[in-house]
């Protein structure tokens, strides 16, 4: 059974924390994920890139310039080189010397706190093709087979989705896209993917969300108050948002439940 089929999830809208709580702490870092869990979110969303020595690290951008005191591409740095950099000071002096997380460190932490919600994990292969990233992700996930969380893997890259499905016929997959295309629909209707996650910025997509509420469509990134209110009034299955305070408050006000 796919996770979004449970009756609990149908009753109210799941809220996913986009890169943790990136409005109060540096995105995709431990403080950001910790901050997100202070709210009744249903899942954490994060991004994976691969280092020069084949390690999986949690960072959104292909380059480290925006979110660290270093420069260059993740793919050209070893894990040791990245671990020496400050990934917090760009956001605030309060987070000076926050280090980049590996995927395994992230799951270790979640396991240590008995995390039992959802994980939405994006493989960032839409700009660079990281050979073998799919196998590495699945191998690390399998190390935590006793964990209580539920995982959905997602990517913009159809090749990545194809590789993941061939490696694991059972793991839930989502295709990220700006618009619904034939490949998305084919994958969805033939069970290659279980979900399509679409940008909320386009009017056509918003009309699709509200018209096909029973479909497994998740909008990103839903931040405007008006969009949040409408998502909860229409009881969409899930949203991905930066606005955790507003989103969880509005969900309680409109749907009468917050877990």
Please check whether residue 172 is in contact with residue 152, taking contact to mean a CB–CB distance below 8 angstroms. Answer: yes
The predicted model gives 220-231 an average pLDDT of: 96
Residue 152 has pLDDT above 50, yes or no: yes
Q: Which option is the CATH number for 3-59+102-255: 1.10.540.10, 2.160.10.10, 3.30.10.20, 3.20.20.190?
A: 3.20.20.190
Residue 181 has pLDDT above 90, yes or no: no
The predicted model gives 91-110 an average pLDDT of: 98
Cα–Cα distance for residue pair 218/161, rounded to 1 Å: 17
Tell me, yes or no, if 60 is annotated catalytic: yes
Alpha-carbon dihedral sign for residues 46, 146, 50, 168: negative
Please check whether residue 221 is in contact with residue 120, taking contact to mean a CB–CB distance below 8 angstroms. Answer: no
Q: What is the pLDDT of residue 257?
A: 74
Residue 7 has pLDDT above 60, yes or no: no
Residue 155 has pLDDT above 80, yes or no: yes
Please check whether residue 50 is in contact with residue 57, taking contact to mean a CB–CB distance below 8 angstroms. Answer: yes
The predicted model gives 178-194 an average pLDDT of: 90
Please check whether residue 224 is in contact with residue 242, taking contact to mean a CB–CB distance below 8 angstroms. Answer: no
Cα–Cα distance for residue pair 240/47, rounded to 1 Å: 13
* pLDDT bracket for residue 215 (50, 70, 90): confident
Domain ranges of the chain: 3-59+102-255
pTM for the full predicted model: 0.93
Mean pLDDT of the chain: 93
* pLDDT bracket for residue 259 (50, 70, 90): low
Q: What is the pLDDT of residue 6?
A: 40
CA distances from 95 to 26, 44, 81, 86 (A): 8, 20, 19, 9
Q: Which residues of 26-65 are buried (b: 16+ CB within 10 A; e: fewer)?
A: bbbbbbbbebbbeebbbbbbbbbbbbeeebbbbbbbbbbe
Please report which helix (H) or strand (E) contains residue 48, including its range.
strand 43-50
Tell me, yes or no, if 18 is annotated catalytic: yes
Please check whether residue 174 is in contact with residue 193, taking contact to mean a CB–CB distance below 8 angstroms. Answer: yes
The predicted model gives 43-68 an average pLDDT of: 98
- List, in order, residues 6 or more apart from 78 with CB less than 8 Å away: 51, 52, 53, 55
Higher pLDDT, 17 or 11: 17
Please report which helix (H) or strand (E) contains residue 185, including its range.
helix 182-189
Q: Percentages helix, strand, coil for the chain, rounded to the nearest 5?
A: 35, 20, 45
Q: Which residues pair with 174 in a beta bridge?
A: 154, 195
CA distances from 94 to 23, 24, 31, 83, 91 (A): 14, 11, 11, 18, 8
Q: How far apart are the first and last CA of the chain?
A: 21
């Amino acid at each position: 059974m796919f996770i979004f089929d449970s009756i609990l999830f149908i009753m109210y809208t799941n809220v996913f924390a986009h890169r943790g709580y990136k409005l109060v702490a540096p995105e995709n870092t431990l403080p950001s994920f910790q901050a997100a869990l202070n709210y009744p979110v249903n899942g954490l969303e994060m991004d994976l890139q691969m280092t020069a020595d084949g390690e999986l690290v949690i960072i959104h951008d292909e380059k480290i310039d925006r979110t660290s005191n270093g420069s260059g591409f993740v793919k050209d740095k070893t894990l040791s080189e990245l671990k020496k950099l400050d990934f917090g000071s760009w956001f605030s002096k309060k987070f000076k010397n926050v280090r980049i997380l590996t995927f395994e460190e992230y799951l270790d932490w979640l396991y240590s706190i008995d995390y039992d919600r959802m994980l939405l994990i994006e493989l960032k292969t839409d700009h660079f093709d990281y050979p073998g990233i799919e196998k590495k992700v699945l191998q690390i996930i399998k190390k935590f087979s006793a964990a209580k969380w539920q995982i959905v893997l997602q990517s913009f890259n159809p090749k990545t989705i194809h590789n993941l499905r061939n490696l694991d016929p059972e793991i839930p997959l989502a295709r990220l896209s700006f618009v619904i295309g034939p490949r998305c629909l084919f994958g969805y209707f033939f069970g290659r993917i279980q979900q399509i996650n679409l940008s909320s910025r386009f009017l056509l997509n918003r009309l699709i969300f509200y018209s096909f509420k029973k479909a497994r469509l998740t909008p990103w990134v839903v931040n405007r108050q008006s969009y949040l209110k409408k998502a909860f009034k229409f009881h969409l299955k899930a949203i991905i948002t930066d606005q955790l305070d507003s989103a969880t408050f509005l969900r309680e006000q409109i749907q009468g439940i917050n877990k």
